[in-house]
């Protein structure tokens, strides 16, 4: 840890990652592929939001925007959910998008056929394995037999088969055996889900590491955000050897959602800026989020990573000073990578003279440091008596500068 | 991991924690105190939000609500920031709240005196130690000498001294040496901050574990949320031996904020429901968040844990069925603990017959399962053609039931 901190620490805990080294062997020894992940965007989770029941036209608009953005996979609601869902699958497959289109079905031949007929590139087969039998009373041998038949059928149609479990495992032995079996049967990918949103990053790392040691296929992970760990969990999964991360725009999904696309990219750009900026059209993120927010009838949260109005705002004097001198002191992400701008807020009692100096320079007004310091004191005193707008502060700066000329 | 999963797994990754066992020795061996943490609520971070410049009256209202909620510490803006900030400190100290009032100063005798004079219970001394010298050009020996004088002065005034570093460390050796020195000098607490919001839970666990092995005093941690890991990081810090977590209501703070109070409690109630429900007045959370949101001129995010409108919503058929049968299948938190209610959404094409059955029962309409299934098909077909409100769905259920009677 000492040498890690020495290599690039800029804060007492965090550091800019150094991927020239392999990870610490004590945490698994696997080589992380933090710069080779693929993103699955779940349009189907969008429908889960109470307000987010989207019509075909909206789905097409969003799918097209996701594809343009560079998302590798788009997963749609099961064609077995309703006749309209089936038609939507067909319509979106026919668009010929760059993104591969996926859908999901229960482990049934009938549903698998329905899915393959829509023209999707991949079908996820979801089985219920919980011995608590909330949703499915079959035992493990039956589950395995049916799943293998369905997988063989999907493969025979020239479609990628993805194997997934909806609920729980009472015993990791069951998990490994089942996943090994479908891996040997030639699935493209297995998928594990934290459906409850209760897993911690360490639990995720342990489980995905174990799975990574058991199967040779790709590993997709799905994290609900009930305990607000969905981003940290996605990162931990990649460190442990996962290859695909399920996301949705703004994290929209059942309850308080899943790994949010923008937040996930904000996390990953810190790991490998070159990979993230060259793979995804980041300046389109804001428009993509606004498109989805509009149709889901929600607002982009004030604190949304990157695009929330406060994401790149700076207010306190000590922070503003450092940000103006060297943005990397207080920003791990360059807002320009996402086509958004930094906002150093200076019209408050917490302002510092460096922020005022920066603003005066933006306004083209030259003053000495001593003059700026006196001006700053004036602004802080004013801000104590009432809330100042940027226009107010600019007026004070301009009038002070004018007095100096007189 | 196999035995861990076996002990209480309910999802393929997550599990309900079992604190009857000590943690896995491979991750540090320290005994986590996941049920003995203290919360520091940073009113000062509220001021950092561009729109959140609060007047004295508002600060008093929020501080009182935080104290009533059960928050152990409230930290205010430095009295050195402006004359009004100083007066606010005095005014809030005079309220005699249950919460201990803290403030923070730079490592200067003048500022420490100013802070102690306001009547606060504790003063945090923040030093800049970055060798990049963005904000402070002093070398480590000078930093240490001044800090020790300031700490001695604060203690002489009968006030708790908290030692903190604002920025970075180039080398963990510096960190340990400095923190050990102030620990021996008798500080109540040391504090480490991820000011950039770039740390991952594993990095946090490593650093806090190291610190835990170096000092005997309390350890406070502060996490910014730029990479959306602030909750996972707070949890990892507690697992590694931290004692105090900095939070703010709704996570309001510089850029996209810090560990949010509600989200943190949502994470911790899963660890130890008895401790969290007996220590904090959770049913007051929603009112507290609304109070702060109103004054900061923001909206509670749609996906905010616990209080966001989608937090306890369920829509998909398979989910709704399980939620109705046994809420713990898809909910790790009981909404009743926070005084909010569950919302199983059934008026959509994704609805399942169990959700419709549940709704019919709520409406007091008895039908056989076959009748409910036919009714469900009607509702799904209707939902395909247009978006149904709850009232619409209720009408369909009632009219179908009426037809049956005829």
Q: Does A7 touch chain B (CB under 8 A)?
A: no
Strand (E) or helix (H) holding A194:
strand A189-194
Task: Calculate mean pLDDT across residues A29-56.
Answer: 70
Burial state string for B287-306 with b = 16 or more CB within 10 A and e = fewer than 16:
ebbebbbebbebbbbbbbbb
DSSP string, B81-105: T-HHHHHHHHHHHTT--SSEEEEEE
Chain A residue numbers with beta carbons less than 8 Å from the beta carbon of B205 are 202
Q: What is the pLDDT of residue B307?
A: 82
Strand ranges in B274-354 using DSSP code E only, listed in sequence order: 313-314, 343-344
Q: What is the pLDDT of residue B163?
A: 96
Which residue blocks in A241-328 are alpha helix, DSSP H?
261-271, 273-279, 285-295, 317-325
Confidence bin at A296 (pLDDT 50/70/90)? confident
User: Would residue B187 be called left, alpha or beta, if left means φ above 0 and alpha means ψ between -120 and 50 degrees?
Assistant: beta
Q: What is the pLDDT of residues B151-180, one digit of tens each?
A: 999 999 999 999 998 754 345 566 788 899
Confidence bin at A43 (pLDDT 50/70/90)? confident
Which pairs with CB-CB distance under 8 Å and at least 24 residues apart come from A294-298?
Answer: A295/A52, A295/A54, A295/A58, A295/A61, A295/A62, A296/A46, A296/A49, A296/A51, A296/A52, A296/A54, A296/A250, A296/A252, A297/A51, A297/A52, A298/A49, A298/A51, A298/A52, A298/A250, A298/A252, A298/B302
Most confident of the following: B50-64, B69-83, B365-379: B69-83
What residues contact B249, with CB distance under 8 A and at least 6 apart?
B41, B46, B62, B66, B260, B261, B262, B288, B289, B291, B292
Beta-ladder partners of B224:
B258
Residue B23 pLDDT more than 50? no
What residues contact B2, with CB distance under 8 A and at least 6 apart?
A171, A172, A173
Instruction: Give the angle A303-A307-A308 at the CA atoms, nearest 5°.
Output: 25
> Tokens 């990979």 correspond to what residue?
A275
Q: Could you tell me the two tokens for B191?
A: 């504090």
Q: Which of A191, A272, A303, A353 to mutate to test the interface with B (most CBs of B within 10 A)?
A: A303
Q: Which residue of A has its CA nearest to B378?
A: A82
CA neighbor of B13 nearest in space, from A211, A250, A8 = A211
Counting beta carbons within 10 angstroms of the beta carbon of residue A211, is it exposed (0 to 12), middle (13 to 18) or buried (19 or more)? buried
Residue B9 pLDDT more than 70? no
Q: Is B14 in Cβ contact with A198 (below 8 Å)?
A: yes
Strand (E) or helix (H) holding A88:
helix A83-93
Chain A residue numbers with beta carbons less than 8 Å from the beta carbon of B198 are 10-11, 14-16, 270, 332
Residues in chain B, overall count: 406
Counting beta carbons within 10 angstroms of the beta carbon of residue A71, is it exposed (0 to 12), middle (13 to 18) or buried (19 or more)? buried
Q: How far is CA B163 from CA A316, B221, B237, B254, B257, in A?
A: 20, 11, 17, 21, 22
Q: What is the mean pLDDT of chain B?
A: 81
Which B residues in the span 107-146 are in contact with A, Cβ-Cβ below 8 Å?
130, 132, 134-135
Report d(CA A224, CA A197) in Å as an integer.
4
Strand (E) or helix (H) holding A252:
none
Q: How far apart are the first and last CA of chain B?
A: 59
Q: Does B326 touch chain A (CB under 8 A)?
A: yes
Q: Does A295 touch chain B (CB under 8 A)?
A: no
Residues A383, A348 contacting (CB under 8 angstroms):
yes
Task: Calculate mean pLDDT across residues B367-376.
Answer: 91
Number of H helices, E strands in chain B: 16, 10
Give me the percent of chain A exceeding a pLDDT of 90. Answer: 45
Coil, helix or strand at residue B191: strand
Residues A41, A66 contacting (CB under 8 angstroms):
yes
Burial state string for A99-113 with b = 16 or more CB within 10 A and e = fewer than 16:
bbbbbbbbbeeebbb
Q: What is the pLDDT of residue A310?
A: 64
Residues A75, A87 contacting (CB under 8 angstroms):
no
Q: Could you tell me the two tokens for B186?
A: 């008798």
> Tokens 């561009």 correspond to what residue?
B50
Report d(CA A237, CA A230) in Å as an integer.
10
DSSP A313: E
Strand B100-106, strand A343-344: pairing: unpaired
Q: What is the pLDDT of residues B121-135, one digit of tens each?
A: 999 999 876 554 434
Please state which of the ranges A177-186, A254-263, A285-294, B304-313 shows the lowest mean pLDDT.
B304-313
The whole-angstrom distance between residue B345's C-alpha and the CA centroid of its chain comes to 27
Give the ipTM: 0.71
Confidence bin at A248 (pLDDT 50/70/90)? very high
Q: What is the pLDDT of residue B390?
A: 66
Q: Could you tell me the two tokens for A119?
A: 């023209």
Give me the percent of chain A exceeding a pLDDT of 70. Answer: 75
Report d(CA A294, CA A310) in Å as an integer.
20
> Tokens 């779940």 correspond to what residue?
A42
Give me the percent of chain B exceeding a pLDDT of 70. Answer: 75
Report d(CA B132, CA B93) in Å as an integer.
37
Q: What is the pLDDT of residue A109?
A: 97
Task: Calculate mean pLDDT across residues B80-102.
Answer: 95
Chain B residue numbers with beta carbons less than 8 Å from the beta carbon of A204 are 13
Whole-angstrom Cα Rg for chain B = 26
Confidence bin at B346 (pLDDT 50/70/90)? low
CA neighbor of B315 nearest in space, from B257, B246, B265, B388 = B388
Q: Could you tell me the two tokens for A375?
A: 């001006």
The whole-angstrom distance between residue B135's C-alpha and the CA centroid of its chain comes to 29
Per the model's pLDDT, the better-predicted residue between B353 and A341 turns out to be B353
Q: Check B222, B235, B244, B319 and give the catalytic one.
A: B319
What residues contact A364, with CB distance under 8 A and at least 6 apart?
none
Per the model's pLDDT, the better-predicted residue between B401 and A312 turns out to be B401
Q: What is the pLDDT of residues B174-212, one digit of tens each?
A: 678 889 999 999 999 999 998 888 888 998 998 899 899
Q: What is the pLDDT of residue A301?
A: 86
Task: Calculate mean pLDDT across residues B219-230.
Answer: 91
DSSP string, B341-392: --EE--SSTT--HHHHHHHHHHTT----HHHHHHHHHHHHHHHHHSPPPHHH
Residue B3, Cβ neighbours under 10 Å: how many?
A: 9
CA neighbor of B372 nearest in space, from B354, B390, B348, B384 = B354
The whole-angstrom distance between residue A72's C-alpha and the CA centroid of its chain comes to 14
Q: Is B13 in Cβ contact with A192 (below 8 Å)?
A: yes
Residues B228, A231 contacting (CB under 8 angstroms):
yes
Confidence bin at B87 (pLDDT 50/70/90)? very high
CA neighbor of B271 nearest in space, from B33, B73, B22 = B33
Which A residues in the span 363-392 are in contact with B, Cβ-Cβ below 8 Å?
380-381, 383-384, 387
CA neighbor of A260 nearest in space, from A97, A29, A60, A49 = A49
What residues contact B139, with CB distance under 8 A and at least 6 apart?
none
Indicate if A319 belongs to the active site: yes
Strand ranges in B215-356 using DSSP code E only, listed in sequence order: 218-223, 244-247, 313-314, 343-344
Report d(CA A178, CA A86) in Å as an integer.
29
Residues B82, A349 contacting (CB under 8 angstroms):
yes
Sign of the dihedral through C-alpha B53, B59, B61, B64: positive
Strand ranges in A43-188 using DSSP code E only, listed in sequence order: 73-76, 100-106, 122-127, 160-165
Confidence bin at A348 (pLDDT 50/70/90)? low
Task: Calculate mean pLDDT across residues B359-388.
Answer: 82
Residues A86, A114 contacting (CB under 8 angstroms):
yes
DSSP B138: -
Q: Is B11 in Cβ contact with A193 (below 8 Å)?
A: yes
Burial state string for B130-164 with b = 16 or more CB within 10 A and e = fewer than 16:
bbeebbbeeeeeebbebbbebbebbbeeebbbbbb
Which A residues in the span 217-246 are in contact with B, Cβ-Cβ below 8 Å?
221, 223, 225-233, 235-236, 239
Q: Is B260 in Cβ contact with A228 (below 8 Å)?
A: yes
Q: What is the pLDDT of residue B34?
A: 76
Please state which of the ranges A49-58, A96-105, B65-74 shows the lowest mean pLDDT.
A49-58
Q: What is the pLDDT of residue B320?
A: 56
Q: What is the pLDDT of residues A83-126, one digit of tens each?
A: 999 999 999 999 999 999 999 999 999 999 999 999 999 999 99
Q: What is the pLDDT of residue B27?
A: 36
Nearest to B196 among A11, A203, A235 (CB): A11
Counting beta carbons within 10 angstroms of the beta carbon of residue A186, is it exposed (0 to 12), middle (13 to 18) or buried (19 or more)? exposed
């Amino acid at each position: 840890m000492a040498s890690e901190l020495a290599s690039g620490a800029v804060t007492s805990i965090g550091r800019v990652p150094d991927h020239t080294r392999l990870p610490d062997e004590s945490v698994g020894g696997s080589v992380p592929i933090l710069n080779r992940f693929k993103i699955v965007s779940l349009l189907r989770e969008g429908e889960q939001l109470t307000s987010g029941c989207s019509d075909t036209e909206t789905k097409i608009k969003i799918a097209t925007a996701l594809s343009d953005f560079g998302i590798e996979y788009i997963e749609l609601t099961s064609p077995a959910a309703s006749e309209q869902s089936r038609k939507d699958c067909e319509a979106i497959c026919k668009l010929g998008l760059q993104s591969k289109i996926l859908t999901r079905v229960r482990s049934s031949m009938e549903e698998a056929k329905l899915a393959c007929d829509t023209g999707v590139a991949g079908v996820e087969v979801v089985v219920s394995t919980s011995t608590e039998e909330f949703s499915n009373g079959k035992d493990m041998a039956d589950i395995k037999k049916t799943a293998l038949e369905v997988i063989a059928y999907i493969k025979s149609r020239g479609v990628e088969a993805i194997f997934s479990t909806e609920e729980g495992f009472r015993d990791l032995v069951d998990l490994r055996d089942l996943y090994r079996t479908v891996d040997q049967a030639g699935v493209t990918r297995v998928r594990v889900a934290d459906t409850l949103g209760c897993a911690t990053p360490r639990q995720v790392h342990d489980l995905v590491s174990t799975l990574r040691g058991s199967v040779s296929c790709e590993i997709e992970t799905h994290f609900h955000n009930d305990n607000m760990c969905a981003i940290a969990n996605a990162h931990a999964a990649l460190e442990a050897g996962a290859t695909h991360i399920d996301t949705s725009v703004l994290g929209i999904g059942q309850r308080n959602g899943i790994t949010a696309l923008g937040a996930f990219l904000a996390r990953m750009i810190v790991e490998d800026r070159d990979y993230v900026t060259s793979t995804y059209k980041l300046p389109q993120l804001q428009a993509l989020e606004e498109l989805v927010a509009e149709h889901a009838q929600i607002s982009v949260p004030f604190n949304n990573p990157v695009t929330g109005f406060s994401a790149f705002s700076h207010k306190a004097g000590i922070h503003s000073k450092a940000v103006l001198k060297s943005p990397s002191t207080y920003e791990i992400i360059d807002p320009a990578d996402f086509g958004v701008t930094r906002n150093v807020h200076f019209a408050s009692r917490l302002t510092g003279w460096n922020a005022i100096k920066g603003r005066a320079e933006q306004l083209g007004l030259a003053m000495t440091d001593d003059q700026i310091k006196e001006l700053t004191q004036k602004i802080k005193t004013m801000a104590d008596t009432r809330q100042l707008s940027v226009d107010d502060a600019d007026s004070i700066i301009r009038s002070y500068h004018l007095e100096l000329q007189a």
